């Protein structure tokens, strides 16, 4: 029997009250979809199978480089983070795995940590290494870079950290390592572009050689920040070049916020799929840069268009296509649990809408160069409200028809605040 943080009686009561209307809406949507020869039950089954991982760092309140405004009852360690992740999954039923970040989530006893996550029925998603900041016990600084540092000993230290991350990941049952480095420069001329990328590839080759055969190594690119003139793995071009240089187990990871404004991300996704290099996603949304806003809150159509590419690849049986999905957001003014529940469902919503795109009609429009009807074919699916499918998928798996309402009624945040006193002196800070 799995541990539960929210009373199953409360979920049942709320669901019973909401079920009549849900069934009516579901039946109506079933009729609408049947006109397109779509079986709603098949779509709901796919909604139930949809999974997106939650980042362990997402359940704490985020912040900016100016300030952080802590919430109440924030998790103080990885065990409390897992408790919050368990709530998100219990209500949403689509976030059964957690992506840890080391050394933030480092423990002395990984067997104990694994047993704790098992007790909540949670799996471990990709391991994230951290060489973008200095730790208290660290011998050499990453001020001028980690895997690309001009100093060989500093590079060795950063490589060693990634190797220990792989070992910890094995103990947790993970099967991926995600590497993002903040390495780059703030001034023209500060770094030799080619030499720093050569040092990156050399370091990554050593890490790659330690990746188990049934693992993947995901490379995350980012255009700017903390380096503001150039970054070593700046864009999907540098990313796929590195992944191709390293080998089949190396793939590119797309964080939606890590591109220049207005870049056509769905087209990048298509290219990565075509060359078997799409590893996975960090979903979030943005207005200006790497804003890390809630998924689907600013550009829901873009998110849908990305899933249109993913579902297209799935439907074509594209070789080597098996991307992993994760949220990577910073919650500055909301309860992180609420944002993560909402965001997971918004990503799931994009997936479901992409599933109901009339692909035969779209393909026909493309062949005939009917631009307007091609666009309208996508819009038809995007404009359909698939909420009843999402709610039914949650209900059938024991989740909440109205997860946010149930979460608020549970008083979970107030309860954990009693046993999790605020961490004093955190002041302004970064995440
Ligand atoms: Mn990310």
Domain coordinates in residue numbering, the chain? 8-419
Q: Are 219 and 279 in contact (CB under 8 A)?
A: yes
Ligand 1 centre from 45 Cα, in Å?
29
User: Strands, DSSP E only, in 106-248?
Assistant: 123-124, 127-128, 176-179, 184-185, 216-220, 230-231
On the question of pLDDT at 147 being above 70, the answer is: yes
**Ligand 1 centroid to 326 CA: how many Å?**
9
Instruction: List, in sequence order, every residue forming a beta bridge with 185; answer none if it has no partner.
Output: 230
In the prediction, which pLDDT does 126 show?
98
Give residue 15 CA to ligand 1 midpoint distance, Å.
34
Q: Is the pLDDT of residue 424 over 70?
A: no
pLDDT tier for residue 431 given thresholds of 50, 70 and 90: very low
**Residue 74: closest CA among 61, 86, 64:** 61
pLDDT, tens digit, 9 for 90 and up, residues 360-385: 999 999 999 999 999 999 999 999 99
Q: To 5 degrees, how large is the angle CA 167–CA 85–CA 296? A: 105
pLDDT classification of 77: cutoffs 50, 70, 90: very high
Banded pLDDT at 422 (limits 50, 70, 90): confident
* Dihedral over alpha carbons 106, 283, 253, 267 (to 10 degrees): 180
Please report where in the chains the tokens 């903390």 appear, as a residue: 226
Asked if residue 78 has pLDDT above 70, the reply is: yes
Of 1 and 92, the structure prediction assigns the larger pLDDT to 92
Token couple for 365: 């429009």
Q: For strand 230-231 and strand 216-220, is the pairing parallel, antiparallel, or unpaired?
A: unpaired
Report residues near ion ligand 1: CB below 5 Å: 255, 282, 328
What does pLDDT average to over the chain? 96
Distance CA 244, CA 62 (A): 34
- Measured in whole angstroms, the distance separating CA 300 from the mean position of its chain's CA atoms is 16
| Alpha-carbon torsion angle 405, 406, 409, 410, nearest 10 | -150
Does residue 1 surpass a pLDDT of 90?
no
Give per-residue pLDDT as tens, 148-173: 999 999 999 999 999 999 999 999 99
CATH hierarchy code of domain 8-419: 3.20.20.150
**pLDDT for 427:** 43
Between 5 and 429, residue with greater pLDDT: 5
State the distance from the centre of ligand 1 to the C-alpha of 359, rounded, in angstroms: 31
DSSP state of 63: -
Q: How far is the CA of 10 from the centre of ligand 1 (A)?
A: 35
d(CA 55, CA 85): 9
pLDDT the model gives residue 428: 41
Q: In this model, does residue 421 exceed pLDDT 90?
A: no
At 392, the pLDDT band (50, 70, 90 cuts) reads very high
């Amino acid at each position: 029997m799995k541990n539960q943080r929210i009373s199953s009686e409360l979920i049942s009561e709320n669901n019973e009250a909401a079920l009549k209307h849900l069934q009516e809406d579901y039946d109506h949507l079933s009729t609408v979809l049947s006109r397109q020869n779509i079986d709603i039950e098949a779509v709901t089954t796919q909604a139930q199978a949809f999974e997106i991982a939650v980042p362990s760092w997402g359940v704490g309140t985020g912040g900016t480089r100016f300030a952080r405004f802590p919430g109440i009852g924030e998790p103080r360690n990885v065990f409390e983070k897992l408790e919050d992740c368990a709530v998100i999954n219990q209500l949403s039923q689509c976030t059964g795995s957690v992506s840890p970040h080391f050394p933030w989530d480092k423990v002395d006893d990984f067997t104990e940590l694994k047993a704790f996550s098992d007790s909540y029925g949670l799996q471990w998603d990709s391991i994230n290494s951290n060489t973008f900041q200095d730790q208290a016990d660290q011998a050499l600084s990453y001020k001028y870079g980690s895997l690309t540092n001009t100093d060989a000993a500093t590079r060795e230290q950063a490589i060693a950290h990634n190797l220990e991350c792989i070992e910890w990941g094995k103990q947790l049952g993970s099967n991926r390592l995600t590497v993002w480095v903040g390495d780059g420069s703030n001034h023209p001329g500060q770094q030799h572009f080619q030499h720093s990328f050569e040092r990156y590839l050399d370091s990554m080759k050593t890490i790659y050689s330690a990746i188990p055969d049934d693992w993947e190594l995901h490379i995350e690119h980012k255009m700017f920040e903390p380096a503001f003139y150039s970054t070593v793995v700046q864009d999907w071009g540098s990313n796929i070049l590195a992944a191709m240089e390293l080998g089949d187990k190396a793939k590119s990871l797309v964080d939606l916020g890590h591109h220049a404004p207005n870049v056509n991300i769905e087209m990048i996704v298509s290219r990565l799929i075509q060359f078997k290099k799409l590893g996975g996603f960090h979903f979030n949304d943005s207005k200006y840069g790497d804003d890390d806003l809630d998924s689907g809150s600013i550009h829901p159509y873009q998110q849908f268009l990305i899933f249109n590419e993913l579902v297209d690849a799935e439907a074509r049986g594209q070789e080597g296509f098996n991307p992993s999905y994760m949220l990577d957001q910073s919650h500055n003014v909301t309860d992180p649990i609420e944002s993560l529940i909402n965001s997971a469902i918004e990503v799931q919503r994009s997936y479901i809408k992409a599933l109901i795109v009339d692909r035969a009609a779209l393909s026909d429009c493309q062949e005939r160069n009917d631009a307007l009807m091609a666009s309208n074919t996508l819009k038809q699916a995007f404009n359909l409200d698939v909420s009843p499918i999402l709610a039914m998928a949650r209900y059938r798996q024991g989740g909440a028809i109205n997860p946010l309402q149930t979460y608020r009624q549970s008083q979970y945040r107030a309860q954990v605040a009693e046993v999790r006193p605020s961490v004093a002196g955190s002041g302004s800070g970064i995440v």
